[in-house]
Chain A
Amino acid sequence: MTLALSTARQKARRRAMLLVAPLFLFIVVTFVVPIGQVLFLSVNNDGFSQTAPKLGAWFLANTDGTVPDEAAYAALAADLDQMRREKTAGAAGTRINDVVPGSRSLFTSSARASRDFKPPYKEALIAKDARWADPRVWHAMRAAANPNSLDYYIIAADRQRAEDGSIQQVPPERRLYIGLFASTFAQSALITFLCLMLAFPIAHLIAHVRQSTANLLLILVLLPFWTSLLVRTSSWIVLLQRQGVVNNVLVALGLVDTDRRLELIYNNVGTIIVMTHVLLPFMILPIYSVMRMINPAYVRAARSLGATSWTAFRRIYVPLTLPGVAAGSLLVFILAVGYYITPALVGGADGQLISNMIQYHLSASNWSLAAALAFILLVGVLVLYWIYDRLVGVENLKLG
């Protein structure tokens, strides 16, 4: 009997898994594997190791810290000559350029001249370009001789290898990424806060009017939610332009002088306004669904015990809405951190987020750095997603 029962259970379990299997495999192939490849590329770049085999052999034979001798320069000259024939100096130079900015030309010009190099190679190469004596270039080449390295994470952390091979911060004027991550998080936090401030009264209103009115108001919330993101972005461009509706109204009301119209778009003000609008429904819906379930007797009880309406609201009502507030805030924050389209279209120079930087490096064929930045962002988002799942449960995610 128990055996039959457990066989039946086994069968039911298998059947459930078989139903999920097709989608699971699909997601693994079209989603998990590509993202795994991003991780792989962020630590693997064979642009140099592939094209400089002789130098790679010298690095293997000599430990880190060995001053490059004539043999090393001979290997370098031979590799440069091979790069000239195979036209790979650009790829090799790019890999080193990522670590020591400005050194791409060192490779391309030296490879072009590689036919003229004669022993002693050390003098010949340094005479061609003094940068061949720079220990930082040699450190970079040693690191790049191994296709797997954490170089790109070092760059993404605004650090570099010093002449003695130690890792130090880059000079302040070249610090890019930590600041961009920080400003992405700060802007997302601000957008989340604005969404919360706007969503709370709206959700409260919808949760406490007659059902028929609530349905109507919900449609007003869902309409922008359903409208194409590009449509909403183009509307905002139209509204916020210097000659746009908002500025025209302000001028007509006499609030703004006509030749001092506000710059509301193509800067981070634009990014914040448009993203708040885009993400607001994601805040309203979870808060509303929690508010709808709050028993009005609690607030009435507080009032009957002598609380003012403000005290009852603050001490009784608001704490009861916290699950919805947490759900909405986390969701909006997660979505905001990874936003791309809106900042790219309305952000101008200072409204860009980390996603735009990833795209920039990708289009500049700086793939490993793009991958490293993407992976750092991914880890941040996955941690938040995990928290969201613990606190709210992704199961409870509702749409409309």
Chain B
Amino acid sequence: MKLPAHADLTERTWRWIYLALCVGIFAFLVAPVLIVIPLSFNAEPYFSFTEKMLTLDPDGFSWRWYELLAKFGMQQPEAAFGMGWLADLWNNSTWFNAAKNSMWVGIWSTVLATVLGTLAALGLTRPEMPFKRTITAILLAPMIVPIVIIATGLFFFYSNPCGIIGLDCGRLTSTFTGLVLAHTALGVPFVVITVKATLTGFDQSLARAAASLGASPTQTFVRVVMPLILPGIVSGALFAFATSFDEVVTVLFVGGPQQVTVPRQMWGGLREQVSPAILAAATILTLVSAGLLATVELLRRRSERLRGIRA
């Protein structure tokens, strides 16, 4: 973004003001995400940089909050290190259990959302599909409708899901299944959007060519279409996973004591007394999301490259 050589002094001044402004806005965007990382190594239980940290004295830094985070909820955190201690950590540490719950809920809802969302995106990009616009709007609505309304609805619905058809089949509140279904509905719009976006650039004549060479519709999909739209499917799946991994409201409304996920655990920590251990958890989560972002970016670039070849 260069200014032309004939730019006058006012223009040059404005340009500097503009660039300084942009730097400030970028700092506003990024600093809050990054600042927790050094603060999570604070040796003191403060939420600000200490003198020692600012002078980079090694005494100012420690792993104590990470240790606290791992051991929190263990029955014998001070016992001698060994198999029993590890088993205690694995089974009883509150944060470990929350992480395990989050992983399982995330994995199952991602699988469900990816399968359902990809199929729907395939249907929605067919030219013959009727009511395309309305149906897309309905399928994407879970992303737009305020989460509290969705959670309120689920709170009533889950207390007796079969009541609608006049049956009683138990409740879905405080169940793993209930949570997975809720997270699937919340994650599915992301899959539909990303897969649809890859399919829009998809050259349908490739599928027709496969069909004319005798491939069945399934074969055409698995051997020709899928490899080309895979980046879209994977980024959609990662979005769905990230959504589930970050979702706290439905857990609060319909989850039971057995469904404490990482966000639920953080929520509790933030509502009661904020401890620097929260910052350790936040740092770990930031690294996880940075990893997810990097993967999605790479996939997006790959699919753009693939499309570039055809264009």
Interface residues of A (CB under 8 A from B): 9, 12-13, 15-24, 26-27, 30-38, 41, 198, 201-202, 205, 208-209, 217, 219-224, 226-239, 241, 243-245, 248, 277, 280-281, 309, 334-335, 337-341, 345, 355, 358-359, 362, 367, 370-371, 374, 377-378, 381-382, 385, 388-389, 393-395, 397-400
Contacts and interface: CB of A to CB of B under 8 A. Distances in A.
8 contacts: A16-B128, A17-B129, A24-B138, A223-B30, A226-B289, A248-B48, A334-B144, A377-B149
Nearest to A208: B1
Contact of A23 (B39, B120, B141, B270): B120
Contact of B32 (A277, A367, A399): A277
Interface stretch (B85-93, B177-185, B203-211): B177-185
Interface of B: 1, 11, 18-19, 21-22, 25-26, 28-30, 32-33, 35-36, 39, 46-49, 116-117, 119-120, 122-124, 126, 128-130, 133, 135-142, 144-150, 152-158, 164, 181-182, 184-185, 188, 190, 192-194, 196-197, 239, 242, 245-246, 248-249, 253, 263, 266-267, 270-271, 274, 278-279, 282, 285-286, 289-290, 292-293, 296-297, 300
Contact of B47 (A9, A230, A244, A370): A244
Contacts, number: 277
Contact of B278 (A12, A234, A381): A234
Contact of B18 (A32, A201, A243, A394): A201
A27 B253 CA distance: 19
Contacts of A334: 144
Given A31-B153, A33-B164, A345-B270, 6 more contacts: A22-B116, A35-B150, A37-B156, A217-B26, A226-B292, A374-B152
A23 B117 contact: yes
A210 to B, nearest CB: 8
A227 B285 contact: yes
Given A20-B124, A217-B26, A381-B145, A27 B246 contact: no
Contacts of B32: 224, 232, 235-236, 239, 277
Given A367-B156, A370-B152, A16 B129 contact: yes
A12 B274 CA distance: 57
Nearest to A245: B48
B194 A399 contact: yes
A230 B133 contact: no
B143 to A, nearest CB: 8
A355 B146 contact: yes
B239 A399 contact: yes
B123 A17 contact: yes
A12 B211 CA distance: 14
Contacts of B270: 230, 233-234, 237, 345
Main secondary structure of the interface of B (DSSP, over half): helix
A241 B47 contact: yes
B146 A378 contact: yes
B188 A239 contact: no
A373 to B, nearest CB: 9
B197 A394 contact: no
A393 B196 CA distance: 14
Given A237-B270, A238-B36, A230 B248 contact: yes
Given A205-B1, A239-B35, A395-B196, A26 B116 contact: yes
Nearest to B264: A230
A244 to B, nearest CB: 6
Given A235-B33, A339-B146, A400 B156 contact: no
A27 B193 contact: no
Ranked nearest first, the 6 interchain pairs of A and B with the lowest CB-CB distance are A338-B146, A19-B123, A34-B153, A34-B157, A20-B123, A23-B120
B44 to A, nearest CB: 12
Given A18-B123, A370-B152, A237 B274 contact: yes
A352 B109 CA distance: 31
A220 B297 CA distance: 12
A37 B22 contact: no
A18 B129 CA distance: 10
Contacts of B274: 234, 237-238
Contact of A227 (B33, B129, B184): B33
A13 B123 CA distance: 9
Given A22-B120, A35-B153, A230-B266, A338 B148 contact: yes
B182 A30 contact: yes
A4 to B, nearest CB: 15
A338 B155 CA distance: 17
B150 A31 contact: yes
A235 B145 contact: no
B156 A34 contact: yes
B29 to A, nearest CB: 5
A395 B199 CA distance: 12
Contacts of B145: 31, 35, 338, 378, 381-382, 385
- Looking at A209, A281, A334, A394, the one whose CB has the most chain B CB atoms below 10 A away is A394
A19 B119 contact: yes
B223 to A, nearest CB: 18
Nearest to B143: A397
Given A16-B123, A19-B123, A345-B270, A222 B293 contact: yes
Nearest to B200: A395
B148 A358 contact: yes
A38 B152 contact: yes
